Amino acid sequence: MRQLVRIASWLYAVLIYGFIFLPVVVLVLFSLQATSFPIPPFTGPSLRWYDAVLSDTRLTSALVNSLLVASISSLAAVTLGFLSAWGFARFVLPGSGLLRGLITLPLTVSYLIIGMGLLVLFNWAGVPKSLLAAGIGHVVINLPLCFAIIYSQMGDHQINIERAARDLGAPEWKVLLLITVPVMTPAIFAGFFLSMTFSWDEFVISFLLTRFDTTLPVEIWNLLRSGLNPKTNAVGSLVFAVSIVLVVFFELTLLRRKPA
């Protein structure tokens, strides 16, 4: 019986892993295709489509745009999130529960609707479509995430640590710089990298709020109109690779939090 469960488990796990990795393997494999269609039979390996991607200025500038939007919007989100988490965790504010609820509210609303709202507002206020507009949207979706992560890590123990610092004579700004920020570093990093990944992969808000200069997911979307193309595979594989790098960073910051 136990043996049977074990075999069935293995079989099931292999099937699910297969299901999960099938599209990724196909994507990466046919990005190395030598011929013009990313369909069987496999004719590679060849790096010609990566060459094509890197010499396509639309794609490369979209890649730079994506990195810029992701890093700047994540920086803004994590800064706002940290400051507000600190404020709510340390001080008694009237209506604190309600205000915290307001900050985390965007988490429950789909990106499409957040993007739509901003589109309508910017359209009405005469704000042109731009990377800046998309970045604002990315802060809206990532701020509640950073806030929630950092706020959840500011427990009683952290409060006592700050009290101890004040008790030993540290003024408020030294408490912030010497104690709070260093102690919260893992949570701050986690918030930042998670925001980076989400912003890097985000499509619909960027699609709605940018026009000429746009982010990589939107540019890939434009490529899709030409049908299946190994160049799309190549750029998709690159996007995937960058996401993995971010996730590994994220994992490492999470792991670092463990011994503390």
Pick 55 or 225: Cβ nearer other proteins: 225
Which residues from 85-144 bind other proteins, rule CB under 8 A?
86-88, 90-91, 93, 99, 102-103, 105-106, 108-114, 116-121, 123-124, 136-137, 139-140, 143-144
Which residues from 190-219 bind other proteins, rule CB under 8 A?
197, 200-204, 208, 217
Stretch that binds other proteins, among 50-58, 67-75, 164-172 (CB under 8 A): 164-172
Q: Is 64 in the site for other proteins (CB under 8 A)?
A: no
* Residue 71: other Cβ atoms inside 10 A: 16
**Choice from 34, 68, 177, 228 touching other proteins (CB under 8 A):** 228
Tokens of 228: 């299946």
* CA nearest neighbour of 131 among 58, 70, 194: 70
Taking the C-alpha atoms of residue 172 and residue 112, their distance in angstroms, rounded to an integer, is 41
Q: For other proteins, how many residues bind (rule: CB under 8 A)?
A: 101
Tokens of 184: 């919260």
Burial of 44 (0-12, 13-18, 19+ CB in 10 A): middle
Which residues from 13-52 bind other proteins, rule CB under 8 A?
13, 16-17, 19-24, 26-27, 30, 37-40
**Choice from 154, 165, 188, 190 touching other proteins (CB under 8 A):** 165
Which phi and psi (to 5°) does residue 178 adopt? -90, -25
Question: Running DSSP on this structure, what letter comes out for residue 106?
Answer: G
User: How far is the CA of 87 from the CAs of 21, 23, 99, in angstroms?
Assistant: 43, 45, 11
Minimum CB separation of residue 143 from other proteins in Å reads 6
Q: Is 83 in the site for other proteins (CB under 8 A)?
A: yes
